Every structure is written in structure tokens, then in C-alpha cells.
Amino acid sequence: MEEKKFDVQSIIGFVLIFGILIFMFYQNRPTPEELAAEKAKQEQVEAAKASENTETEAVDNNVSQLDLQDSTAVANYQGKLGAFGFTKPSNDITTLENDVLLLKISNKGGQIVEAKMKQFVTYDSVPVYLVKDGNASFGLDFSTSDNRVLNTADLYFEPTMTNDNGNQVLSLKAKTSNNQYLEYRYVMKPNDYLVDFTIKSKGLDNVISTSKPVTLDWKLKGIRHSKSIQYENRYTRLTYNHEDGKISKLSEGSDDEETEEDVKWISYRQHFFSSILAADEPFKSGDLTSVNLVEEESRTFGFTKEYASALPVELEGGEISKDLHWYFGPTDVDTLSKYEDLGLDDSIPFGWGIFGWINRYVFTPFYGLLSTYFPYGIAIVIMTILVRLAMSPVTYKSYLSQAKMKVLKPEITELGEKYKDNAMKKQQETMKLYGKAGVSPMSGCIPAVIQMPIFYALFMFFPTSFALRQKSFLWADDLSSFDTIYQFPEGFSIPFYGDHVSLFPILASIAIFFYMNMTTGQNMPTQPGMPNMKFIMYLMPFMMLFFFNNYASGLSLYYFVSNLITIGIMLVIKNVIIDNDKIHAQIQENKKKPKKENKFQKKMREMMEQAEAQKKK
């Protein structure tokens, strides 16, 4: 039997190419003067962006406060508002707070001006804010019967705080008289991220114009929470529920906008945290917009995407009445599943189709169970072992197919020499040989296809699993993000690789290299005039090294352990389970048995025979 061994020339070529690339990167690295100039340029660009963002926030989000000491300014303000000038201006802030969430709500606009997660911090240990420093705005656009166009963000509300069976209730009223008003009502429950929010008017049927639309406008700029803004932005996305339960998303990589019908809820997802506005009764339509703010990797830029939604609010008898809910909290399946009636857990990016189903109903609960008994990194290793053992029958089928093909290789080579001038005849005789031997050349591909859903489900699981956020293992300080064993100097980055070196992807690539060499590396055909397929197979781990350098370290850990286990399983199958002599004997017995053709095989044979006859003519 042919002895399997490493192709030394291919390995040398692989190492040389890697060395050449590193040398090129080293030679072309910027000088200290160029780095300093680039840093100064970057600081100028980001300062300009920050200035532009600040101006946009001041204009769009209406965060400017009225100088209450200036009686002339107050009088002018009240005159512009008409009947709504009745409410006395006040710049006070009211705080709603429980064990998990803190909200600050301004009398100006009656809107949330700060939303803080009390149990979570960012990568640099700063509290997680979803709303802060004017990054968000909320208001109703409407017209009055005296032809004024107003937005509630410009109105002042009068607050009243009460307690209802342990729930904090904040009522804010923009009054036109003592008994006529527009009310925002917030209800915060203990230890809950969901805040009930009601918009209701009383006695305004003659104040608000019924001939012109009332529109709810909600805008938010996603605040950066992760060490890599490009990585975080990859999983930052506007998701929405519409048309009786259909879940759709705007583009995560570019600017996008849509107009939809029957909008139930809108999620401004910021990777691991979400700001969600949900309605008991769907909005009839919605204009949704997402603008990508990230152009390149930056260690200082503070925003990911800018979201905007415009939703029509219907009047009932000339009055407004809309029951809504605010959710400010983690994009975590355990938390969001509590709001089953609203279906907020559908905003989690589990993946598409069967891949998302596997992620949601298999890997997420399975890993959650393991992580309750083991440290998070160890839980990944245990899950990997169990997954690979569950897939070992597939691995066995794949290797058995390779063993059969290897046994038939001398006969296939002989057919190639015999019919080297007649490709069609060669193919016909090869397929006939496969049929007699009971071997299917596709049987080795089927196991790979079966494993694809597992591969993709895990690919989505590790970067988006909230359970892995900021959980450390060995040298990785966050299993949901990339590990870093070396950080390049500021301003230096390798194209397609990044500004850091991650160790888990290196280990995973090495394991993939040895696995591929064991399975397909030695059996790849080499034909004159064609690329060296064996070398291409060796190049793949190198490409994976670049690809996974900026992905979740938990994913690289999984592939590293998975390939080590698979290599061990393959060695057991090869040296203990599979007997090549028995396989050869079985194939020879199969050749002696009459082979009954199915309709498809018969049709294919007849077509090939007709083509052969036509060629002879």
C-alpha cells in the first residue's frame, strides 16, 4: 500500500510564500515620521468628524435648552408654540431606576436623554450607555388648527412621579390648559429592561389638526462599546417586525432604507445591546433608515451607525392614544424571551433558515447548560468534543469513501492511460468501474454537505452569543471578540489581517493544515498545465489565518479543538477500524455481483453510448 507522507516541497513553498509576505510587509512598513504624520492627519479627520457630529446632534436632536432667566426668550418661545405655551418651561431631569436600568427623562421634549446599563461595562470598563449626550431624539411631528407645525421635542412637559404597586410611574404633560394636554407616561417595573410607554392626549381634538398627519420620529446613533469598531459594526443592524410577524433587516455594511407596512417593533441593535420600540398595535407603515458611520478601523471614533424611523400615528376622534414599550438592554436570548408576547427575541441574529434554527434551539441552550457547570472556555471545549463525537459517523463515512477511492486508484489510472485520447470513453469506463465496485465518487462530498449547517450555525453563534461577552479563557480576555497576543504600533496595520496578532487563529490554521494533509492533501490530482491543487489546499489554512484574525476567539478555539479531535478520530479510523485489505476484497466481491441499474443510471449510460456512437460517425 502507498505510504502517506508529507509533501516536503509543498511545505517549503508554503513557508517561503509566508516569509516573502512578512518581508514585504516589513519592508513597506511606514517610517516613524510617516506614522506621526498619519496620526496627526487621522486626529484632524476624527476631530472634524466629531465637530460635524456635534453640530448634527445639536440641530437634529434638539438638545439645546431654553435660558429660563431670559424673560424675552421665554416669551418668544411661548409665542411660537401657541396653545402649548401654557406649560411653564423647566429644564429639570427625572430619573427612573431599578436594579438593571437607569433612565433620565427631560422635561424638554419628555424624552429619554440617558439610558444606562447598570450591570454591564464596555471593553475599557466604562458603563454601557445606549442613550447619552444627545445621541438620540424622540418626538411627534404634528400640525395645529392655527397652522403651526410643532414637534414635541421642542415642548416642555410637566412631570408627576407616583408609585403603583412597586412600579415607578412618570407622567409628563404638555398642557394647553389645566384640563387639556398631551401626556407621555413611563412605567418602570422592578428588575426589568422593558419600560411601558403610553402617548395619550386629552381635549386636543380642536388643537391638533386632523387634516395633516401625526408622525413619530425616533433617531439614534449607536455608541461604540467594543475595542474594534469595525468588528462591532459588523453585528450592528436595524431589525424590525412587520406584516404579521415577518422579520427583516437593513444592510449591516452600507447605507440602507425601506418603507414597510404593519410595523410591530423596531430594534436598533448595537451588537450585544439593543434599543427597541415596540407597539401593542402595529403602526400602519414605517420609513426606516440606517446610515453606516464606520469607514475604517479606529481606536477613538465613537459611533457605529445612525438609525432613523418615521412612523405615522393615527388619531381616534381627534385624539392620540398609542400604547408602546421601550426596551433598553442586552441582546440576550434569556432576557428577550421573557417578552414572548412582543416577540423581541426574534431580533437576535441567530442566522438564516435551518442554520438559525440549529443555533437557536441546539447550540444556544446546549452551551447555556454547559456554562452553568463549567468555566466558559472549558464549556466550549466540552461542547466541541461532544459535537465532534456526534459527527464521528459522518467522519467515518467520509474516510471510508476516501479509502475505497484509494484502493481503486491503480485501476482508474490504468483506465486513464488506456483511454487517454478519448475523454468520453474514459469517463464512461470510470463510472462503470465505480458502479461495479459499489463506490460513489460523491459519497465523500455528502458528509461535508451535512456538516455545513453545523459550520454556519457555529459561525453565527460565537460572535453573537451574549453569554460569551467579556468571558475570558487563557490569554483571551473576551471569547466573543478576537484575542490579542501582540498589538502593532498605532497607525500600522497589515491589509486584510489587522493591527494585531491573534494566537487562537494561528493554532486553528495549523490544526486545519494537518487535518487537510491527512484527508485530501495527498490525494489531490496534479495535471499538466493545471495549478498544483495540493499547494492550493495547503494555502487554505493560510487564508483562514487572515480571515479569523478579526473574529471571535471562541470560534477559533472551537475550530482548533475540533480539528485536533477530528485528527484523533481519523487516526483511530485509519489505524484501528478500517482495514484496506478487507476493503479491497469487498470491492472485488462487489465487481462479481450483477449490478442492477436504476432509471437514472440507465438513462445516463444510454446518453453516453449515443454520444460515443455520434463521435465515431
pLDDT-derived band at 352, boundaries 50, 70, 90 = confident
Position 155, amino acid: L
More confident residue, 522 or 127: 127
How confident is the model at residue 26, as a pLDDT? 46
Burial of 441 from C-beta contacts in 10 A (0-12 / 13-18 / 19+): middle
**pLDDT tens-digit series, residues 1-27:** 334 344 444 445 445 544 544 544 444
Q: Please give the C-alpha separations between residue 133 and each of 130, 302, 552, 572, in angstroms, as whole numbers.
A: 10, 12, 30, 61
Give dist(CA 161, CA 344) in Å, integer.
Answer: 28
The predicted pLDDT at position 527 comes to 45
Using pLDDT thresholds of 50, 70 and 90, give the confidence band for residue 450: low
| Cell output for 1 | 500500500
Helix ranges restricted to H, 260-375: 333-336, 353-358, 364-371
Confidence band for 440, pLDDT divided at 50, 70 and 90:
low
Q: What integer pLDDT is reported at residue 509 of this predicted model? A: 86
Q: What is the mean pLDDT of the chain?
A: 78
**The CATH number of domain 90-349 is 2.70.98.90:** yes
Residue 59: predicted pLDDT: 31
What pLDDT is attached to residue 530?
44
> Which helix (H) or strand (E) is 614 found in, with range?
helix 599-616
Q: State the pLDDT confidence band at 216, using cuts at 50, 70 and 90.
A: very high
DSSP β-bridge partners for residue 175: 181
Summarize pLDDT for 46-64 with one digit per residue, the tens. Answer: 444 444 443 333 333 344 5
> Tell me: the pLDDT tens digits for 421-435?
666 766 666 676 666
Q: In this predicted structure, what is the pLDDT of residue 566? A: 80
Please tell me whether residue 173 adopts helix, strand or coil conformation: strand
Structure confidence at residue 590 (pLDDT): 57
| Closest among 613, 297, 212, 604 to 427, alpha carbons compared | 604
Phi, psi of 4 (to 5 degrees): -85, 130
pLDDT of residue 7: 47
Q: What predicted TM-score, i.e. pTM, was given to this entire model?
A: 0.74
Higher pLDDT, residue 25 or 212: 212
User: Is it the case that residue 294 has pLDDT exceeding 80?
Assistant: yes
Q: What is the pLDDT of residues 38-49, one digit of tens each?
A: 555 455 544 444
- pLDDT value of residue 49: 45
Contacts of 76 (CB under 8 A, 6+ apart): none
Domain boundaries, the chain: 90-349, 364-600
pLDDT band at 493 (very low <50, low <70, confident <90, very high): confident
pLDDT at 65: 62
pLDDT of amino acid 617: 61
Q: By the 8 A CB rule, do 107 and 170 touch?
A: no
pLDDT at 58: 32
Per-residue pLDDT at 148 exceeds 80: yes
Q: What is the mean pLDDT of residues 27-44?
A: 51
- 269/464 Cα distance (integer angstroms): 11
CA 252 from centroid of its chain's CA atoms: 8
pLDDT-derived band at 455, boundaries 50, 70, 90:
confident
Q: What is the pLDDT of residue 223?
A: 94
**CB-side exposure of 595: number of CA atoms within 13 Å?**
19
The helix/strand/coil state of 325 is strand
Question: Distance between CA atoms of 221 and 61, rounded to whole angstroms?
Answer: 11
Question: Is 291 exposed, middle or buried (CB count within 10 Å of its CB: 0-12, 13-18, 19+)?
Answer: middle
- The number of angstroms, rounded, from the C-alpha of 156 to the middle of its chain's C-alpha atoms is 39
Which H helix or E strand runs over 249? strand 246-249
Extract long-range pairs of 279-282: CB within 8 Å, 24+ residues apart.
Answer: 279/322, 279/323, 279/324, 279/325, 280/323, 280/324, 280/325, 281/322, 281/323, 282/242
Query: What mean pLDDT is predicted for residues 198-204?
Result: 93
pLDDT tens, position by position, 156-176: 999 999 998 889 999 999 998
Of residues 393 and 143, more confidence is placed in: 143
- Could you give the 3-state DSSP secondary structure of residue 222? strand
Residue 191 — very low, low, confident or very high, per pLDDT cuts 50/70/90?
A: very high
